[in-house]
A and B are shown apart, each in its own frame.
Chain A
Amino acid sequence: MASATTITAEREHYLNADYGMRSWFFTTDHKRIALLYLISITFFFFIGGFFALLIRLELLTPQGDLVQADTYNKLFSMHGQVMIFFFLIPAVPAVLGNFLIPMMIGAKDLAFPRINLLSWYLFIIGGGLMLYTILTGGVDTGWTFYVPLSTAYLGTHVVLAAVSIFIAGFSSILTGLNFIVTIHRMRAPGMTWGRMPLFLWSNYATAIIQVLGTPVLAISLSLVGLERLFHLGVFNPQLGGDPLLFQHLFWFYSHPAVYIMILPGMGVVSEVIPCFSRKRVFGYEFVALASIGIAVLGFLVWAHHMFVAGISVYSAMVFSFFSYLVAVPSAIKVFNWTATMYKGKIYYSTPMLYAMGFIGLFTMGGMTGLFLAALGVDVHVTDTYFIVAHFHYIMVGGMVMAYLAGLHFWWPKISGRMYPEAWGKLAAMTIFIGFNLTFFPQFILGWTGMPRRYHAYPPEFQVLNVLSTAGSTVLAVGYLLPMVYFLWSLRYGKEAGDNPWGAAGLEWKTASPPPTYNFEETPVVTWEAYNYEELPKEVPVVG
């Protein structure tokens, strides 16, 4: 690849095209908006992570001796709400998706740049309200807001928290809307659906879920807020309501939400693995369709969160069946990624380490999902640490690692600089080890009966809790490292050049950092995705 210039400071690109607060806070450039999101969600990640550390510290001892019961309940509630709504849901789509989708399809921007900016402002307003909630006493509903607890029995800022999430939900809906229209209407000439990188397929599937599912969360939270404010009886049995109706409405969104969280991560892995195996993804069509399959089937399984809630035996069986069905496309993806590595040429660069870690940990998390879909097993382990371990394996072991894989992979494109590779590898391994130490013991804790959301617990559970807390300190260090070296790289990192990885994809055909309008001229695409057999054999920057 011919690189544009060697010294980024001399060339105009999206970072130096304009200066000043106004150029950032009123930008419509999808790349700048992506960076605004990057800073915001990193901030919330550390807030959520801080709560997690406090939780783990409390759980070092069986007694509730670090914080009071009410405080502990607030800690796990806000940890969940912040991590889910203000970190995981936006992470890959709003940061990497925003930055890359126009570039990957050969467009100058998303379909609706101003709506993109509005999306970020909504996120900030929602996040600001959540911060205010946290600072003025917090909320202790659990991230699930079950009724009638949250509508009639708690004195904390329930409505405020619900409003903050409602607003953040609109941010998510608008991002999804933008992506759908962009991918449909703004692909460069020659970029057929069958030539799109899988990252686009994943984000497209994610966007469908965001658009269809999030409004139902909006109405669920609205009804909770109205019930609480006006003492209505929509869900409260004492006033004639049905608490299970809330659960149905809530989980109708919140189950697909987990696919909003994981699908983009899968998209990242689908980019990283081929690049560092120097090989096309095995079974491209199957991986692409699997993303759509997950999105569609994901809407049919919500009541598997309610197997012991009081639903009928027959509907439970239906949901169990569909839950097994939705596992199939995820399995297909794992097998395809693994098969991609077969007879490839493997580089151990940091993004690849994270991607391989993702496959392993996502597989473990997914396997435990098979346990949960079995009705009899779920009866025992639901509402215990088994569930906590299951979703952290997928969300943290899977999604966060995929996000880090993506950040490292596209950091050169975003910043024009390389991060220090040795530190990258060290952080990846620290995170992998710390993660397993933290969360594997929790499977055992759950299976032996330790319930979740417990401030204090019977003493026989202490050993595994101590192990888990020890792991979390290692994990915390692992997360701090990239913070430090990414910032360091902005000033001292090696210049990256257009395509340090020798990767396929339109985004690598333009400079790093890219110019504001991405491409000098609209590209015309005549090749298939992941055409690694045509690209240089060597990855220029060796990993």
Chain B
Amino acid sequence: MSDSSEALATHELRHHFENMEQQRGASSMGMWVFLITEIMFFGGMFMAYLTYRYEYFTAWQEGSQHMDFWIGTINTAVLICSSLTMVLAVLAIQQGRRRLTSIMLAVTICFAIAFLVLKGIEYHGHWLAHEFPGSAFHFNGIDPRHVEMFFVLYFVMTGFHALHVVIGIGLVSTVLYMNERGHFSADYHNPIENVGLYWHFVDLVWIYLYPLLYLIGHRHVG
């Protein structure tokens, strides 16, 4: 078993690297650096959100109360579960258990799709309630202009996040396919680890979004 996996490993060594260790190190580091750029990208949106929250406090409270608390909470649970299955997938391939890896990757994808479906239902709800920014927006409470701003940031932030979920589904599907084709083993599975890193990052962004959007103004929370 180890002979063929070593052969696999050598087969995967790209020509400009000296050895697999260098390749693996470079590959992981590349993903970390990329995730730092993603932090900066979302960081800009968080800054905009925090700035306006400071300036338009009441509108932010008001907007947050119009969030769909239950979908948001279920989605949070869904994503955390998907991170769990992703971790299990990585653990599985570290032990060379390819079938289990594929199963865990597939379940991760299912959770991700569930997240997107729930999100879609949620967006649709906002659309029907005239909470979609732009010409269709209509709000009957206080400070409607700034509540619209809250919704702009809500849709932009969750929209970009959802885009990253979609990309994540693509990435997880790719490594699932590669795993089914036998590319990975206990000795070589760097792409799965990197996709795992990406996936955890996407989850982490949501973990910040959830309280900021859903919980700050919510009456049920103290």
* Chain A residues at the B interface, C-beta cutoff of 8 Å: 102, 107-113, 115, 173, 177-178, 180-182, 184-186, 211-216, 218-220, 222-223, 226, 230-234, 239-242, 245, 248-249, 252, 517, 522
The 8 Å CB contact of A240, one of B22, B37, B40, B148, is: B148
The 8 Å CB contact of A223, one of B29, B146, B156, is: B156
* Chain B residues at the A interface, C-beta cutoff of 8 Å: 14-18, 22, 25-26, 29-30, 33-34, 36-38, 40-45, 47-48, 51-52, 55-56, 133-135, 145-146, 148-149, 152-153, 156, 160
A112, A173, A239, A517, most chain B CB atoms within 10 A: A239
- CB-CB under 8 A from A219, the residues of chain B are 41-42, 44-45
- A184, B29: Cβ atoms closer than 8 Å: yes
Chain B nearest Cβ from A83, distance in angstroms:
24
- B134, A231: Cβ atoms closer than 8 Å: yes
Chain B nearest Cβ from A12, distance in angstroms:
16
Cβ contacts A to B, 27 pairs, < 8 Å: A102-B16, A107-B16, A108-B15, A109-B16, A111-B30, A112-B26, A112-B30, A113-B16, A177-B34, A181-B30, A182-B26, A185-B22, A186-B16, A211-B33, A211-B36, A216-B40, A216-B41, A222-B160, A226-B156, A231-B134, A233-B148, A234-B48, A234-B152, A240-B56, A242-B51, A249-B47, A517-B16
A212-B37, A242-B51 given; A186·B149 CB < 8 A: no
- B16, A181: Cβ atoms closer than 8 Å: no
The secondary-structure label for the interface of chain A is: helix
Complex-state Cα separation, A178 to B156, whole angstroms? 29
Instruction: Considering the complex, give the chain A residue whose CB is closest to the CB of B55.
Output: A242
- CB-CB under 8 A from A522, the residues of chain B are 18
Task: Give 19 A-B pairs besides A219-B45, A239-B145 with Cβ atoms closer than 8 angstroms.
Answer: A102-B16, A110-B16, A111-B29, A111-B30, A112-B26, A113-B14, A177-B30, A177-B37, A181-B33, A214-B40, A215-B38, A215-B41, A216-B40, A219-B42, A231-B134, A234-B48, A234-B149, A239-B148, A245-B51
- CB-CB under 8 A from A241, the residues of chain B are 149
- CB-CB under 8 A from A216, the residues of chain B are 40-41, 43-44
Instruction: Considering the complex, give the chain B residue whose CB is closest to the CB of A184.
Output: B29
- B149, A249: Cβ atoms closer than 8 Å: no
- A181, B29: Cβ atoms closer than 8 Å: yes
- CB-CB under 8 A from A226, the residues of chain B are 156
Instruction: Considering the complex, give the chain A residue whose CB is closest to the CB of B56.
Output: A240
Complex-state Cα separation, A306 to B64, whole angstroms? 32
- A249, B33: Cβ atoms closer than 8 Å: no
Chain A nearest Cβ from B22, distance in angstroms:
6
A215-B40, A219-B41, A249-B44 given; A240·B33 CB < 8 A: no
- CB-CB under 8 A from A112, the residues of chain B are 26, 30
- CB-CB under 8 A from B51, the residues of chain A are 242, 245
- CB-CB under 8 A from A232, the residues of chain B are 133-134, 152
Instruction: Considering the complex, give the chain A residue whose CB is closest to the CB of B18.
Output: A522
Instruction: Considering the complex, give the chain A residue whose CB is closest to the CB of B24.
Output: A185
Complex-state Cα separation, A211 to B38, whole angstroms? 9
- B26, A180: Cβ atoms closer than 8 Å: no
The 8 Å CB contact of A177, one of B33, B55, B149, B152, is: B33
- A230, B133: Cβ atoms closer than 8 Å: yes
Complex-state Cα separation, A239 to B187, whole angstroms? 57
Complex-state Cα separation, A78 to B34, whole angstroms? 30
A212-B37, A216-B41 given; A181·B26 CB < 8 A: yes
- CB-CB under 8 A from B26, the residues of chain A are 111-112, 181-182, 185-186
Complex-state Cα separation, A252 to B41, whole angstroms? 12
- B22, A213: Cβ atoms closer than 8 Å: no
Complex-state Cα separation, A242 to B48, whole angstroms? 10
The 8 Å CB contact of B25, one of A102, A185, A218, is: A185
- CB-CB under 8 A from A220, the residues of chain B are 44
- A233, B37: Cβ atoms closer than 8 Å: no
The 8 Å CB contact of B48, one of A109, A223, A233, is: A223
Complex-state Cα separation, A214 to B209, whole angstroms? 22
The 8 Å CB contact of B40, one of A184, A213, A231, is: A213
The 8 Å CB contact of B37, one of A102, A109, A173, A248, is: A173
Complex-state Cα separation, A218 to B148, whole angstroms? 23
Nearest 7 A-B pairs (CB), nearest first? A219-B44, A240-B145, A215-B41, A109-B16, A215-B40, A108-B16, A111-B26
A113-B16, A214-B37 given; A185·B148 CB < 8 A: no
